[in-house]
Amino acid sequence: MVQAEFLHHVGVNYLFVPWISWLLLLQTAPFLAPTTVPYLVLWWLFAVPVVLLDVKIYGQWFTKGKRYLSMAANPTSQLSVIGNLVGAQAAARMGWRESAVALFSLGMVHYLVLFVTLYQRLSGGDRLPAMLRPVFFLFFAAPSMASLAWKSIAGAFDMGSKMLFFLSLFLFTSLICRPMLFKRSMRRFNVAWWAYSFPLSVLALASVEYAQEVKGVMAHILMLFMLVLSVLVSLSLVIFTVINTRMLLPDNDPIATTLLHSLPLVYRRDQN
């Protein structure tokens, strides 16, 4: 099943999610200081798989015919970028500036390529099931995370962080002005709705950093708006999840169906 997911153009990107979650938890752990040995060991444990997945996925984008980026790219591909940026932020907090810059550079270079590819809607790139439309919010999650990561590297929410923050705001505004894009995915609750929470939370955190740097009235209004929106969305998702626990793994899940159909093919390849 894992191998089938690895071969799926959408499912493979979710292999980054556990490592992203653990890196975020590592940074927020109240009992682990960034300068301690356990923090260092855990960072290596969580960051190395991200880099290994990068080598595999990024490498096949320009070496394998059916896995060219123009054929495999979809909004979930940005999870690989976010993984690098979260790792860079965690490294910067340890004082490992060079490692942080390396991960940040790797993530941003591929983000630019991904952004252009998805923006152009090249042939085969738009193969995302309708129920997964909430992952379009990852479009502004990546630059929001990049602004926070660069703030950790530079030590201040400088011009680079502000530019990335403004880009994320523009992409956020563009998406919320197109509610019809999410109409089909909102007809029935599914676990993909949780894709709304992380991007909004990261954008809210970036707005906090921006407000603290600018210290203006409009900046604080924007910060309060994003914080309230993030909290309301997260609480709503918790409530919907509790009410619809039986719908977390629906029978009509397009990704799961595709993976199950591809299992015999995977086994056949292994035997060959």
Residue 249 per-residue DSSP state: S
What is the rounded CA–CA span in Å between residue 2 and residue 262?
11
Using one digit for the tens of pLDDT, what is the confidence trace for 170-185? Answer: 999 988 888 887 777 7
SS3 category, 36? coil
Burial class (CB in 10 A: 0-12, 13-18, 19+), 179: exposed
Flag whether pLDDT at 207 surpasses 80. yes
178 backbone dihedrals φ, ψ, rounded to 5°: -125, 65
Q: Helix 197-214 vs helix 138-154: angle between axes, to the nearest 10 degrees? A: 40
Burial class (CB in 10 A: 0-12, 13-18, 19+), 34: middle
Using one digit for the tens of pLDDT, what is the confidence trace for 154-163? Answer: 988 989 999 9
What is the rounded CA–CA span in Å between residue 110 and residue 69?
11
**Per mean pLDDT, which range of 8-22, 135-149, 197-211, 245-259 is the poorest?**
245-259
C-alpha distances in Å from residue 99, one per residue of 102, 189, 240, 270? 5, 40, 40, 37
Q: Domains (ranges, CATH) in the chain?
A: 1-128 (1.50.10.150), 133-248 (no CATH)
Report the candidate in 72, 85, 83, 84 with the shortest Cα–Cα distance to residue 11: 72
Burial class (CB in 10 A: 0-12, 13-18, 19+), 271: exposed
- pLDDT, mean of residues 64-89: 78
What pLDDT is attached to residue 67? 56
- Pair 148, 202: CB distance under 8 Å: yes
Using one digit for the tens of pLDDT, what is the confidence trace for 105-154? Answer: 988 988 888 888 887 764 444 566 777 788 888 889 999 999 999 999 99
What pLDDT is attached to residue 223? 93
Report the candidate in 152, 117, 176, 214 with the shortest Cα–Cα distance to residue 27: 152
Residue 252 banded pLDDT, cuts 50, 70, 90: low
Q: What share of the chain is helix, strand, coil (3-state, %, to 5)?
A: 80, 0, 20
Instruction: State the residue for tokens 């007809």.
Output: 187
Residues 6+ apart with CB under 8 A from 249: 191, 256
Which H or E run contains 145? helix 138-154
Flag whether pLDDT at 255 surpasses 60. no
